Structure 1
Amino acid sequence: MSHVYDVAVVGAGPAGLSAALNLVRARRRVLLIDSNRPRNSATLLSHGFLTRDGISPLELRKLGREEFLGYEGAEHRQTLATAIRTTEGGFEIDCEFRGAASSATARVVLVSTGLHETLPDIGSLRAFYGTYVHSCIECDAWGKRDQPIAVIGEHPDLAERALLLSQWSDDVIAFTHGADIVTADEETRLASRGIRVERRRVAAIQGDREGMHGVELADGEVVARTAGFVRPTWSGALEYVAPTGAELDADGLLVVDDHGRTSVQGLYAAGESTAPGPQQLIVAAGSGARVAATINRDLVGGVEHLGDAVQ
């Protein structure tokens, strides 16, 4: 491309859309790169977003794109960023969509591609995920209130998640899926809240079109449950950022300062690309708006005076 964008925003979830909207309103020429592969695509309804409680996450994205594209200087491309490289005066972003390669050049780049999640190996889990089984407690526990709830996980935060769910139901069972992750002290604390720990491996989620009926264990026993929360393994999926040499933390997420600046000058990050675990949509959107303000202020100072990178 012969022209250079002020900002390329990679990722069109709440963080990316919020940042792109605020930047184009600051009269920046903004390219929004969107692979259209949202992590929450299996979720039918989104909750906790002020004035949009209960909206489809896909509809929320659609409305966000339309608002962004209503401004001069806004451009949207449905494509997948495959590599970001530093160049003199900015960055080049390589993209690919259905075998067609393209590229774009921008003075600065904001990474907001979110997380990739891997669910535990449990039969039929994917079939019920997003409707009867969820991952975000803050987002979806209200809809499962007062039901028999299973909380399934293979990570050390299982006890914490089970305790949190007791705010919405007094019938919670924590399934470790065979992992040795709940300590004796944690089990005692869980028991004080009426939460049982089931340490056997989970074979499958049982149910039909009417809903979830129970959790089938490896020995064939079925524990009656009508709702569930599962702890996926989350990763940043930030391989495309590697050519920049940006610093990643132990979770594989971008290290940023309090304003979203990474260790590479001119490269910023917002939303789930910077924090372990998924964020509520409204929190991610706020992160995008905050980092957008930093980017605009840094650009006002000139590319050569972009904010100090993370040390």
Structure 2
Amino acid sequence: MTVESYDVVVIGGGPAGLSAALNLVRARRRVLVVDGNRPRNAATLTAHGFLTRDGISPLELRRLARDEVESYDEGEVVFAQVTGLTVSGSGFRVVASGVRGAADIDVLADTVVIATGLTETLPAVPSIRAYYGTQLHSCVECDAYEKSDAPLALIGETHDLAERALLLTQWTSDLIVFTNGVGTVGDDDERTLARLGVSVERRPIDDVVGERGAMTGIRLTDGTEIARSGGFVRPLWSPSLSFVDDLDLDRDDDGFLVTDAAGRTSLPGVYAAGESTEPGPQQLIVAAGSGAVVAAAVNRDLIGVSVERDAPVL
């Protein structure tokens, strides 16, 4: 049986992966995008900060990007969940289970771009997901403008809450940090925040409360209810990379792929774009830019491989 082969298989169909794919098909590379179709921002109604697309639905942005990739003869997008990525000869074998009725995938690739992004775990507050993507968000740069001057909550259980709270003071002077009895805000940081009018609430949270789908406050376990109309959540992030275990790629202490500035991993032929590497700003335009950078490196490296392969034997 002949297994279909591609110049590049892109694993992940978010802005990073689709941007890489678009630039690669325009470099006349045969590209397959394998997308599990479970975007982290599926609950978000609008995306901001993407030039010419400010306010677009993230799902619509992905649809438009898929259409653009597939408008080229060299581009193909399938919905499937990658279950295996292994070295095969001088390239790689990608195996995936189809989703949404799509067929299973078993293909070869000269190179692979990993752009599967993050899995996020929210604080264990019962109703938090009911407001996530509408009144509660995780990306300050993406969504803070729409919360300007509102009474906001910052909910998290991590050590970097003070830094995120300081950032939020650019948009509101009415902010309370809720640590849920777990998160850490040091004494010096708390004094700095207090000078800016930000208070720290360390009592455990019972739930986020609201009426008719609109958030109205945070209820603590002692029954105290603190009025808030919205805010931000600091999730715990982890990379979605279980399928690369057989490749033994270098990772940092948090499990993210280690790459050079162009997205090359420790294994030649495997690249990473977007938040499969150490996450930074969560804006979609940043992820798309990362994909474009990686695509340029992939194309140049493939040219080098072709030249080396076709060089005369002396």
Q: Which amino acid aligns with 2:163?
A: E
Aligned partner of 1:70: which letter?
S
Contact 1:251 1:276 in 2 (8 A): no
The two structures, once aligned, show a CA RMSD in angstroms of 1.5
Aligned with 2:72: secondary structure? coil
| Deviation sequence 1:127-171 (CA, Å, 0-9, x none) | 000000000000000011110000011111101111111110000
Deviation for aligned residue 1:304:
8.7
Alignment: residue pair count: 306
> Is contact 2:80-2:104 (8 Å) kept?
no
Partner of 2:293: 290
In structure 1, distance between residues paired with 2:98 and 2:5 = 21
Offset, 1:209? 2.3
Is the CA contact (8 Å cut-off) linking 1:147 and 1:169 kept in structure 2?
yes
Are 1:271 and 1:279, in contact at CA under 8 Å, matched by a contact in 2? no
Conservation of the 8 A alpha-carbon contact between 2:3 and 2:106: no
- 1:30 equivalent in structure 2: 31
**Rounded Cα–Cα distance in structure 2 between residues aligned with 1:195 and 1:65:** 43
Aligned with 2:113 (options 110, 115, 121): 110
Task: Return the letter of the residue paired with 2:189.
Answer: E
The alignment status of 1:228 with 2:231, answered yes or no, reads: yes
Q: Which runs of 5+ in 2 are unaligned?
A: 310-314
* Paired residues of 1:272 and 1:278 also in contact (CA < 8 A): no
Moved over 3 A (4+): 98-101, 303-306
Q: Give me the identity figure in percent.
A: 56
Q: Give, as a single letter, the amino acid of the residue that structure 1 aligns with 2:4.
A: H
Aligned AA for 2:150? Q
- In the superposition, the TM-score normalised over structure 1's length comes to 0.95
The equivalent position to 2:145 in structure 1, one of 142, 145, 151, is 142
Distance 1:271 1:55, change over 3 A: same
Partner of 1:52: 53
Instruction: Report the CA distance between 1:278 and its aligned residue.
Output: 5.7
- 1:173 aligned residue: 176
Query: What is the aligned partner in structure 2 of residue 267 from structure 1?
Result: 270
SS in 2 for 1:94: strand
How many angstroms apart in 2 are the aligned matches of 1:26 and 1:158? 43
Of 91-100 and 125-134, deviating more is 91-100
Aligned-pair distance for 1:76? 1.1
Judged with a 3 Å threshold, the aligned counterparts in structure 2 of structure 1 residues 180 and 5 are, in CA distance, closer, same or farther, namely: closer
State the shift of 1:303 in Å. Answer: 5.9
Q: What are the superposed Cα offsets for residues 154-211 of structure 1, whole Å, 9 maximum, x if unpaired?
A: 1111011111111100000001110251110000000010000000011110002251
TM-score of the superposed pair, with normalisation by structure 2: 0.94
- Per-residue deviation, 1:101: 3.8
**Shift in CA distance, 180/157, structure 1 to aligned 2, threshold 3 Å:** closer
| More divergent stretch after superposition (203-212 vs 220-229) | 203-212
CA contact (8 A) 1:82 1:240 kept: yes
Q: Please name the residue that 1:12 is paired with.
A: 13
> Is the aligned partner of 1:212 residue 2:206?
no
Inter-CA distance 294–180: structure 2 relative to 1 (3 Å threshold): closer
